[in-house]
Chain A
Amino acid sequence: MLDTSPNDPGTTLPHAAGVGFKPQHFSEISTGDHPVKWLEIHAENYMVEGGRPLAQLRALAERFPISVHGVGLSIGGETRLDPDHLARLKHLVTWLNPASFSEHLAWSTHGSDYFNDLLPLPYTEATLSRVCDHIDEVQDVLGRRMLLENPSSYLAFEESTMDEVEFLRAVVKRTGCGLLLDVNNVFVSANNLRLDAYDYIDRYPHEAVGEIHLGGHDEDEDEMGAPLLIDSHGRETADPVWALYAHTLTKGGTKPTLIEWDTDVPDWPVLAAEAGRAAAMLESLFAEVRS
């Protein structure tokens, strides 16, 4: 385990609203007056030698705290972490020195193949021990604490012997990592697996949370006509997810909060307005605590 104080959330992101950076918003982010106080990037998009994306990132990093969010480490994978990919990540984190690094409780690589999706894993003693080994390795190589994000689930594994909150609690205890609490993912999974999202939030180890994600989902149905929610990051955060976020803030206090919008990316004012909504909720909680 990495030697960190038990209350260190593993990040220096401000307890304010951020957005996932999209290149088409570069000018407006750089020059405009807006509620966005920090930015998140997908690590893999910047694992290149040079060119415009890196130049934009260098410029943004001078003005905003940056959160590096990995999508390709395959922490939940059966096979060992790809040492080449870990080295690419180490290089990025070393030169950028971001305010935070996070990854997913999922797998995406098998053998030498990468599948560009966050695939699910059962929650058992065996997978717990593997995930913890991988997180230990990442934290050792990067020399910093990482945050682990809860997934969106569409199905369950018959072989699971513990629930997700128990699993995440055990990971935090064994590795000392922090958590990235994706409130939309909690809402999506709770609907799809018919669990109580509020109970999930109530049992969650909020003291380990270093960042919150909000984002939009799509609505579909399974073959029995039951509602099936799909984590799409392609629209506004739904009202019931904002309500769950408000509940999360009352349980865990203010946290750096990110709006994720990765497909059908809107014009900047729409994204900035979503960030403004999160900022207003954080502000009102600050005000409540002060009074």
Chain B
Amino acid sequence: MRQTVRQAMTQQTFITAALTPEQPVPDGLITPDGRPASKRFDVYRNNVVVSLKEALEQGFPAVQSLVGPVFFAAMAGEYLRAHPPKHPVIALYGADFAEFIDNFAPARAIPYLADIARLEYALRQSYHAADSQPVTQSALSDPLLFTRAVRLAPAFAWLPSAYPVTAIHRLATGTCRDGKTVQGGAEDVVITRPAYDPIATAFPAGTGAVLDALASGEALGDAAELAPPRLDLTRFLTTLLSGGAIVAINEI
């Protein structure tokens, strides 16, 4: 017979101990002999941290490749304790990992690391974004094309960086082996998703202004006037069209 009625252990007590290795195992968790469970509690400690670390490794492979697995594991461990997921859709975990890296002092030696995380998260969002039916190349033959507005695909996105992140990302993920050094400066990265696999393409800094104008419904011609001098408009439009980024061309 128990002499006292044990108070129910709260789940807050359980999870706090599971996430804090230096904390003791909560009272009331026992082995079959009735002894306090210690190594058995470590199974949960391990599972919670490992499963979220693996989710971050899968979501940010270029970041991991740039800093190495040991550094990444330490950084991911700090992040997941401070920022556990806010919902069970792990495919979208890590939205603020880039912001965390911005403020993570040990990562300051790699100033572009947070932008690589931003790019990887944007690629992942694009991968899971709603499907859409793009317009065909023939839509370009519209003689009044430059007076029209366009609607952009849900899987389309762009982001600015002060670094040549597209090339760094390709090198870090091993999808490009033709060079060991990356040159260049600021760029705007355009993400398109033809069919199911997102593609990142670098354009001159300032290109994003054209895309913001298009997204807000301005005519193609008006948006094009915002183009930075180095932007090759033909290549830009071809990237959008072949990437399925334009889903409608509308009269204004």
Contact = CB atoms under 8 A, between A and B. Distances in A.
B86 A114 contact: yes
Contacts of A199: none
Interface in B35-90: 35, 37-41, 43-44, 47-48, 51-52, 55, 84-90
B196 A51 contact: yes
Interface string A105-127: 00111111111110111101010
B195 to A, nearest CB: 8
Interface string A79-101: 00010110010000000000000
Of A51, A88, A124, the most chain B CB neighbours within 10 A belong to A51
A50 B8 contact: no
B40 A154 contact: yes
A112 B85 CA distance: 8
A193 interface: yes
Interface in A190-222: 192-194, 222
Given A157-B30, A159-B28, A126 B8 contact: yes
B54 to A, nearest CB: 9
B81 to A, nearest CB: 10
Interface string B1-35: 00000111111101100100000000111111111
A88 B15 contact: no
A195 to B, nearest CB: 8
Interface residues of B, number: 51
Interface stretch (B101-109, B123-131, B176-184, B219-227): B123-131
Contact of A158 (B28, B48, B84, B89): B28
A73 B89 CA distance: 11
A33 interface: no
A138 to B, nearest CB: 14
A117 B51 contact: yes
Interface string A142-162: 000000000000111111000
Contacts of A115: 15, 18, 48, 52, 84-85
B124 to A, nearest CB: 10
B102 to A, nearest CB: 22
A155 B51 contact: no
B30 A116 contact: no
A126 B86 CA distance: 26
23 contacts: A50-B129, A50-B130, A50-B132, A50-B154, A51-B196, A72-B88, A72-B89, A108-B88, A109-B88, A110-B15, A116-B48, A117-B51, A119-B15, A121-B11, A156-B30, A156-B32, A159-B28, A193-B32, A222-B39, A223-B38, A224-B31, A224-B35, A228-B39
Closest 9 CB pairs of A and B: A72-B88, A155-B37, A48-B128, A52-B196, A49-B130, A194-B32, A50-B131, A50-B130, A113-B84
Interface of A: 44-45, 47-55, 71-73, 77-78, 82, 84-85, 88, 107-117, 119-122, 124, 126, 154-159, 192-194, 222-224, 226, 228, 230
